[in-house]
Amino acid sequence: MIDLGQKNVRSAGTTDVVVIGAGHAGLATSFCLNERSIDHVVLERGEVANSWRKERWDSLKLLTPNWQSRLPGFLYAGDDPDGFMSMPEVIDFIAAYAEFSEAPVKTNTTVTSVSQNSRGYRVVTNTGEWQAKSVVIASGACNVAVTPKVAESIPADIASLTPHQYRGPAQLEPGGVLVVGASATGLQLADEICHAGHEVTIAVGEHVRMPRRYRGQDIQVWLDRTGILNECYDEVDDLARARGLPSPQLIGSSERKLLDLNSLTDNGVRLAGRLMGVNNGAAQFSGSLSNVCALADLKMKRLLDMIDNWIMTHPVLCDGAERFDATRIDESPTLSVDLTDGSIRTIIWATGFRPDYSWLDVPVLDRKGRIRHDGGVVDAPGMYVVGLPMLRRRKSSFIHGIEDDVRDLTTHLHNFLGGELRLAS
Amino acid sequence: MSAVLKEVDNGVNVEALLGAREALTEAPEAAHFVWRATSEWQNGTHTQSSVNRYFGLGEEQSHVQEYSYDTDHPEIFASEDKGSTPVEFVLVGLAGCLTAGIAAVAQNRAIQLNSVKATIDAPMDIQGILGIDSDVRNGFAGITVKYQIDANASEDDIAAIVAQSQKRSAVFDIIANPTNVTVEVNK
């Protein structure tokens, strides 16, 4: 089931389009290229849905409900539209899509270099070389777990883990855990590790607070119906900010659980400010905790106001408006934790992710290492990127958000190829 | 009574600030600034400090004039009280920075400010600086800033301006986060 279509896929040669990555974004791209009969190959370093297999912790479920798990030509067909997929379920879903879409996937094929030449792009892999007029980068937004510079100053006897290395609390040694970062990842791990009996401190910088359910519906229902998820990249005030927003503090669970800093506090997790440095063996936290929480509370309230206003002008049946408690902060949150007295045994860096472009030998990266693109049209002729946050729309990084982006970009790509339909014979 | 809508004017040139932001995004080296102060001991705990020159936008710059400040300690410390205490100066810096930020953010959000007043409390246990108890830090135990703001906006919008100002404030960052300090002598 895994080596889908493998028998028909060449190891090397010439094609119109090389798609890099067989996750949901690469497979959706392949589906849309197939619709237009554009010759292409999808190169995958591991198996279909590789990141979902190898780079996710065990308990993770999607942040979006099942009704939002849809790809071009492919809908969720299960009996729990309001549930949240576990990782094995996501892998099955994407693998089934690969089969359904008959994507020409070449698995276990790692791209080691992409460079420009007179005929387009030369794509070198561990199994051979490809020549293509166009390249679609669909290799993911979260290849590398980013750690701040302060990570280098942590005493060597403290275990240091990224979310890519973390599978579950069983792998942690007994003792205190410092979780750095308060996005979806940081909160979920702090919650799980605290329930496993560890003393947990979470370092909280700027974050996005969002309730799982609002007015009797999943928050995603409102984000979808109000049109927020469809907001386009050329409509937002500050695109760089929108693209860099941390993931909202949500968790997917069968009990539709609310996860926020208050629920962590109720379970005994200690809140600290952003981790700023390590000095004489002590971790130092920012004194800005109350402000980052005030910012997040105000922004959540603005979102809920917007939803309430939308409901007022649309005929929907739902529960009444509600407001959530402000984030509770100690009068004097801790500013420092001793890393040498044994109270902290593990630090988890939930400090974000970035794509890996180390194989990309085309000068399209900015000084921060981000790919330069206009809504997925990369700053090199015939090159495209898909599956990044806010690529073309707020929903771009969600599974269901890929379709509109990929349809837009394959139209652009088709025009780039000269509209020359190459009918597969 | 005039029915004409008045334009929001907090005296902040937001267009110039946004222009600078855009220009410095393209030329990050010009964003490198160095702030300076000089000081000279007068007598007792009295010191006179001044500021004028600084570096920024790739070259030496200066204020329109030199500003000078006296710091001293009050009479209950057996000093002559020829100026504010240095720790009060830190509060002056915080108030100035946060309030400037409030004006700029309000202007950018088209909110007219009518009055912005702050009161800052900063408790300190001076057993620290006197060396009585080494568990007590020298600095403030905490800082509380209370703003009274009259503006043509909702309570939430005013709160959001104040929060955004803290987020972008240099002095807030300097106080709330660690900074390496190097003091050299006769070099």
Confidence band, pLDDT 50/70/90 cuts, at residue B128:
very high
Report helix, strand or coil for A214.
strand
Average pLDDT over residues B75-83: 95
Q: How many helices (H) and strands (E) does chain A have?
A: 9, 21
Contacts 24+ apart (CB under 8 A), A280-283: A281/A155, A281/A338, A281/A339, A281/A340, A282/A336, A282/A337, A282/A338, A282/A339, A282/A340, A283/A178, A283/A203, A283/A336, A283/A337, A283/A339, A283/A344
Res B3: pLDDT = 47
Record: contact A291-B167, CB cut-off 8 A? yes
Q: Which residue has the tokens 């166009």?
A: A134
Instruction: For residue A422, tell me if it sits in a domain.
Output: no
A109 and A240 part of one domain:
no
Amino acid at B134: S
CATH for B13-83?
Answer: 3.30.300.20
Amino acid at A160: S
A337 and A397 part of one domain:
no
A174 and A291 part of one domain:
yes
Which of A284, A291, A323 to mutate to probe the B interface, most B CBs <10 Å? A291
A152 and A301 part of one domain:
yes
In order along its 425 residues, chain A shows pLDDT tens digits of: 444 445 467 778 999 999 999 999 999 999 999 999 999 999 999 999 999 999 999 999 999 999 999 999 999 999 999 999 999 999 999 999 999 999 999 999 999 999 999 999 999 999 999 999 999 999 999 999 999 999 999 999 999 999 999 999 999 999 999 999 999 999 999 999 999 999 999 999 999 999 999 999 999 999 999 999 999 999 998 899 999 999 999 999 999 999 999 999 999 999 999 999 998 899 999 999 999 999 999 999 999 999 999 999 998 999 999 999 999 999 899 999 999 999 999 999 999 999 999 999 999 999 889 999 999 999 999 999 999 999 999 999 999 999 999 999 999 999 999 854 443 33
Query: What ipTM was assigned to the predicted interfaces of this complex?
Result: 0.84
Domain count, chain A: 2
Report helix, strand or coil for B28.
helix
Res A420: pLDDT = 42
Nearest residue on chain A to B156, judged by CA atoms? A298
A239 and A265 part of one domain:
yes
Res A315: pLDDT = 87
Instruction: For residue A424, tell me if it sits in a domain.
Output: no
Q: In sequence order, which residues have a C-beta less than 8 Å from that of residue A356 and are 6 or more positions away?
A: A139, A143, A144
- What are the CA-CA distances from residue B139 to residues A190, A295, B19, B120, B128 (Å)? 32, 27, 38, 15, 8
Nearest residue on chain B to A285, judged by CA atoms? B177
CB A252 within 8 A of CB A84: yes
Res B187: pLDDT = 86
A359 and A387 part of one domain:
yes
Q: Tell me, what CATH number does A113's domain have?
A: 3.50.50.60
Instruction: For residue A1, tell me if it sits in a domain.
Output: no
Instruction: For residue A135, tell me if it sits in a domain.
Output: yes
CA distance, residue A280 to nearest chain B CA (Å): 12
Instruction: For residue A338, tell me if it sits in a domain.
Output: yes
A264 and A223 part of one domain:
yes
Instruction: For residue A285, tell me if it sits in a domain.
Output: yes
How does DSSP classify residue B141?
S
β-partners of residue B60 are B55
CB A340 within 8 A of CB A373: no
Res A2: pLDDT = 45
Each domain of chain B, given as residue ranges in start order, spans 13-83, 85-178
Domain boundary among A349, A368, A403: A349
CA distance, residue B4 to nearest chain A CA (Å): 29
Report H helices in A107-209: 184-195
Average pLDDT over residues B130-140: 91
Record: contact B167-A206, CB cut-off 8 A? yes
A150 and A138 part of one domain:
no
A106 and A183 part of one domain:
no
Record: contact B178-A277, CB cut-off 8 A? yes
Q: Does domain B85-178 have CATH number 3.30.70.60?
A: no
- Using a CB-CB cut-off of 8 Å, the residues of chain A touching B28 are 367
Report chain B residues touching chain A, CB-CB < 8 A: 28, 141-142, 156, 159-160, 163-164, 166-167, 172-173, 175-178
Distance CA A27, CA A138 (A): 9
How does DSSP classify residue A372?
P
A365 vs B: CB within 8 A: no
A206 vs B: CB within 8 A: yes
What domain range includes position A104? Answer: 6-143+355-416
Distance CA A214, CA B86 (A): 50
Instruction: For residue A166, tell me if it sits in a domain.
Output: yes
Give the number of other Cβ atoms within 10 Å of residue B44's Cβ.
12
A34 and A162 part of one domain:
no
A289, A295, A298, A301 alpha-carbon torsion, rounded to 10°: -90
A206 and A299 part of one domain:
yes
Distance CA A352, CA A148 (A): 10
Nearest alpha carbon to residue A23 among A127, A88, A135, A98: A98
Instruction: For residue A425, tell me if it sits in a domain.
Output: no
